[in-house]
Amino acid sequence: MIGRAAVLLRVGREVEMIMGPSTVGQPADEEMERRKHISPMSKAGRSGGFTLLEVLVAVGLAAAVLAALYATFFSVLRSRDAVDRALERSAEIRRFLDRFTGEAHSAFFSVNNPLTSFAGEENYKLGAPSSELSFTSFNYPAREGARPASDLVYIRYFVEKSDSGIYTLFRESANPFAAQKGGAFKVEAVEDIDGFEASFYNGKDWVKAWDSVLEGRPPEAVRAVVRIREGQDVSEFSAIARVKVR
């Protein structure tokens, strides 16, 4: 009997060494504290990384955010370029109108001088609102070969349509002593316009045509209107110049 008891006692001690001391009869607080330290490695293994699904969701969200930022960035760039083009076009037209106003201020006509003139009319051949305007004006002296130098310059504004359907406003200038013999200098004033219109003030009303030979004098003022199209929008720029030389 003593030998069996010794064997059972020895087996019990070995089981206790393997399984840990028995918790029977221990207080609940001691049992909870013991359980906290049973498997720390298993807890760290469960919370130390991300699952494949979590990684895929994070990558998808990051890709969506980057795509939105990419689209917004290039949309801002396109808007900036459009604003820059509009400002450049506006500055180009303003420069033209400033030059036109100065030339019209100095326009000169005399019934006693057949080299002077002031005439304008609407042109319906191009399919867009356009006018043709010509006059003589005091400007920088022009000399051409043996012809006499003169500060009186013949100026003509007109619109031409290219083969691609673009309307361009041209400025042509020449020495009035050679205006009937060619030699005019032609340059682009404003490219890609929607229309150019000139009207003339006779002292009471604005009219669409003028001929100084018939009227016997230049108009009191001339108004120039340039229209450009940006998409579906049409912008209009205008200037009025009084003819000061009498």
Tens digits of residue pLDDT in 39-86: 554 554 555 678 888 888 889 999 999 888 888 888 888 888 877 888
pLDDT tens digit string along 89-107?
A: 889 999 999 999 999 999 9
CB 199, CB 159: distance < 8 Å: no
pLDDT grade for 152, boundaries at 50, 70 and 90: confident
Counting the structural domains of the chain, the total is: 1
pLDDT at 99: 93
Instruction: Give the predicted TM-score (pTM) of the model.
Output: 0.66
Confidence of residue 9 (pLDDT cuts 50, 70, 90): low
The residue count of the chain comes to 246
Please report whether residue 80 resides in a domain.
no
Asked if residue 46 belongs to a domain, the reply is no
Lowest mean pLDDT among 12-21, 200-209, 223-232: 12-21
20: left (phi over 0), alpha (psi -120 to 50) or beta: left
Query: Strand 195-201's sheet: what is its strand order?
Result: 206-207, 195-201, 221-230, 233-242
- At residue 216's C-alpha, the angle toward residues 197 and 213, to 5°, is 65
Please state which of the ranges 64-68, 108-112, 115-119, 231-235 shows the lowest mean pLDDT.
Answer: 231-235
Domain extent at residue 109: 94-242
Counting beta carbons within 10 angstroms of the beta carbon of residue 129, is it exposed (0 to 12), middle (13 to 18) or buried (19 or more)? middle
In a domain, residue 179? The reply is yes
159-163 contacts, C-beta under 8 A, 24 or more apart:
159/123, 159/126, 159/128, 159/130, 159/131, 159/132, 159/193, 159/195, 159/196, 160/126, 161/126, 161/127, 161/128
1 found inside a domain: no
pLDDT digits (tens, 9 = 90+) for 176-192: 877 455 567 899 999 88
Has residue 83 been placed in a domain?
no
Q: Kindly state whether residue 198 falls inside one of the protein's structural domains.
A: yes
**Minimum mean pLDDT range among 72-81, 136-145, 189-198:** 136-145
Query: Per the domain annotation, does 65 fall within a domain?
Result: no
Q: Residue 180: its pLDDT value, please? A: 56
pLDDT of residue 24: 47
> Is 135 contained in some domain?
yes
Residue 70: what pLDDT? 84
Rounded to whole angstroms, the Cα distance separating 217 from 209 reads 13
Among positive and negative, which fits the CA dihedral 134, 140, 146, 147? positive
Mean pLDDT of the chain: 80
pLDDT given at position 72:
86
Percent of the chain with pLDDT over 70: 72
